[in-house]
C-alpha cells in the first residue's frame, strides 16, 4: 500500500473531465500530481514535451510496453497513448494524490496494478446536455458528434465499474464533489490504520 | 436499498462524538436526523421525553426487543439502552442522512440490518490528549478516568471494523471530515446507479 491516493477519472468525451481535474487540483496546491500520458502522435505547435504529453517514437513506446513500464495503453487511429507507471509510483510514494485521466477501457487494468485506486466516473446531467455541449465546441462534424454520443452511451453502461459517480452539472459543485471524495478516501480505514496504531501504541 | 444514508458514529468516551455530530448536522440543515436512543433509566431534571432519550419502562423495553423493534441494544449497569428501528427506517425512506451514535458493541448488529451503513470511528489525537480531556471534564474520579482509558484502548482495537477514521484534533476539521465522508458516500456507485440509468435512458 502506497501512502498517496491514486484517483482514476473517466468520462465520455464532452463531460469536462480535464477542466474538473484542473479545478480540483487548484484547490489542493502542492498535494496533487496529474499523470502525463505518453503518445506516439506528433507534437503540435504550441505543445511542450512532457506537458501535454510525453512524445516518443513508436519504437520507444513499444519498448516501454515490453519492459512493463506502462500502467495502461491503447491505440487510437494510428497513434498509441498510455500511462507510464514510474512517475505514478514515485508520486504515490511521496504521499501525493495522483490524478489519472483515462479512457474507460484502461480503467480495469489500472485496478489490477493498483487495487486500492479510487475510480470516479463523470456523467453529464443528460444526453441532451452532452449533445448541446459537444455542438457548442463547434469543432466536430455532425457525424463526429453522433459518433461521440454513441460512444458516450456505451461508456455510461460501464459506470458501474467505478466507485463514485460525479455529475458535472455545475462545475464548482462537481469540483467540490471530487474534493470530498479525495478527503473521504484519505480517511478510509485502509489509509488510517497506521494512525489508529499510533494512538494505541505510542501512548 | 433506502434512499437516505445511514451513518454510524462510534468513539471512546471523551472523543467528542456528540459535539462532532451536532456540528456536522448544523451544516446540513434539514437533511439530517439524529436517532434518539431508548432507555430504561430514570429521566433526570432538565431532560425531556424524546429529546435526550425515549424513556420507557423495563417491560416496554423488553417488549420492543421481543417484537424485533430494536436495531441494537445493550445493558449498562442496571439500565438498558438501544436504538428503535422504525424512526431510522422512516427517515432513510425520506432520503435523510441519519446519524446513529452508538457504542462499539452495537456496530456489528447495525451492519447486519443495514449492510450499506457508513461506519465512522472517531479517534483522539493521542491517549495523552484523551486523558487530559477526561481530566478536564472534572466529573470523573481517578479510578473512573483510568477505567475509561482502559476501555478506550480496547475500543480502538476495533476501529478496523469501521469504514472511516476521523481524528478529532481540531473540531472544525473533524466536522469537515464528516461532511466530506457524507458527501462522498452520497456519490458512491450504489447511491448513484439510478442517476446513471436516468442519463442513459431518459435521453
Taking Cα atoms as reference points, which of B166, B129, B131 lies closest to residue B9?
Answer: B166
Contact A180 B179 (CB under 8 A): yes
ipTM of predicted complex: 0.90
What does the pLDDT look like over B63-93, one tens digit per residue? 999 999 999 998 877 899 999 999 999 999 9
Is the confidence at residue A156, as pLDDT, over 90? yes
Chain B environment of A126 (Cβ under 8 Å): 198-199, 202-203
The angle formed by the CA atoms of residues A152, A18 and A74, to the nearest 5 degrees, is 60
Three cell numbers written together for B135 = 481530566
In-domain check, residue A15: yes
CA distance A78 to chain B (A): 30
User: What is the C-alpha to C-alpha distance for residues B33 and B92, in angstroms, rounded to an integer?
Assistant: 9
CA distance A29 to chain B (A): 18
The Cα-based distances of A68 to A50, A82, A84, A101, B115 in angstroms read 20, 12, 9, 20, 40
Taking Cα atoms as reference points, which of A71, A88, A79 lies closest to residue A43?
Answer: A79
Nearest CB partner across the interface for A124, out of B176, B183, B199: B199
Q: Domain residues for A16?
A: 5-35+96-201
The alpha-carbon radius of gyration of chain A (Å, integer) is: 18
**CA of B155: which chain A residue's CA is closest?**
A200
Which pLDDT value is given to residue A109?
81
The mean pLDDT value for B10-14 works out to: 91
In-domain check, residue B151: yes
Domain count, chain B: 1
In-domain check, residue B41: no
**Which CATH number belongs to the domain containing residue A17 in this structure?**
3.40.50.300
Is the confidence at residue A1, as pLDDT, over 60? no
Which pLDDT value is given to residue A2?
57
In-domain check, residue A115: yes
Contact A183 B200 (CB under 8 A): no
Three cell numbers written together for B26 = 448544523
What does the pLDDT look like over A53-98, one tens digit per residue? 999 999 999 999 999 999 999 887 789 999 999 999 999 999 999 9
The Cα-based distances of B152 to A189, B132, B145, B158 in angstroms read 18, 14, 10, 10
What does the pLDDT look like over B113-152, one tens digit per residue? 899 999 999 999 999 999 999 998 888 889 989 999 999 9
Taking Cα atoms as reference points, which of A85, A110, A95, A93 lies closest to residue A35?
Answer: A85
User: What is the C-alpha to C-alpha distance for residues B21 and A107, in angstroms, rounded to an integer?
Assistant: 36
Which pLDDT value is given to residue B12?
92
Chain B environment of A188 (Cβ under 8 Å): 163-165
In-domain check, residue A84: no
Average pLDDT score, chain B:
92
This prediction's pTM: 0.91
Is the confidence at residue A113, as pLDDT, over 80? yes
Which pLDDT value is given to residue B103?
84
Which own/partner pairs from B138-145 qualify as long-range (CB within 8 Å, at least 24 positions apart)?
A: none
Taking Cα atoms as reference points, which of B38, B87, B89, B90 lies closest to residue B59?
Answer: B38
Amino acid at each position: 500500500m502506497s501512502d498517496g491516493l491514486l484517483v482514476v477519472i473517466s468520462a465520455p468525451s464532452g463531460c469536462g473531465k480535464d477542466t474538473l481535474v484542473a479545478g480540483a487540483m487548484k484547490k489542493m496546491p502542492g498535494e496533487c500530481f496529474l499523470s502525463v500520458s505518453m503518445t506516439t502522435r506528433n507534437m503540435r505547435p504550441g505543445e511542450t514535451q512532457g506537458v501535454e504529453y510525453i512524445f516518443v517514437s513508436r519504437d520507444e513506446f513499444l519498448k516501454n510496453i515490453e519492459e512493463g513500464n506502462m500502467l495502461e495503453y491503447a491505440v487510437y487511429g494510428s497513434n498509441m497513448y498510455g500511462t507510464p507507471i514510474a512517475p505514478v509510483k514515485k508520486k504515490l510514494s511521496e504521499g501525493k494524490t495522483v490524478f489519472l485521466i483515462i479512457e474507460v477501457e484502461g480503467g480495469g487494468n489500472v485496478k489490477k496494478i493498483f487495487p486500492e485506486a479510487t475510480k470516479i466516473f463523470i456523467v453529464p446531467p443528460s444526453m441532451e446536455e452532452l449533445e448541446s455541449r459537444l455542438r457548442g465546441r463547434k469543432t466536430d462534424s455532425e457525424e463526429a458528434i453522433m459518433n461521440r454520443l454513441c460512444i458516450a452511451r456505451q461508456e455510461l453502461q460501464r459506470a458501474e465499474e467505478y466507485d463514485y459517480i460525479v455529475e458535472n452539472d455545475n462545475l464548482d459543485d462537481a469540483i467540490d464533489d471530487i474534493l470530498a471524495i479525495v478527503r473521504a478516501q484519505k480517511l478510509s480505514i485502509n489509509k488510517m490504520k497506521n494512525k489508529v496504531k499510533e494512538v494505541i501504541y505510542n501512548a
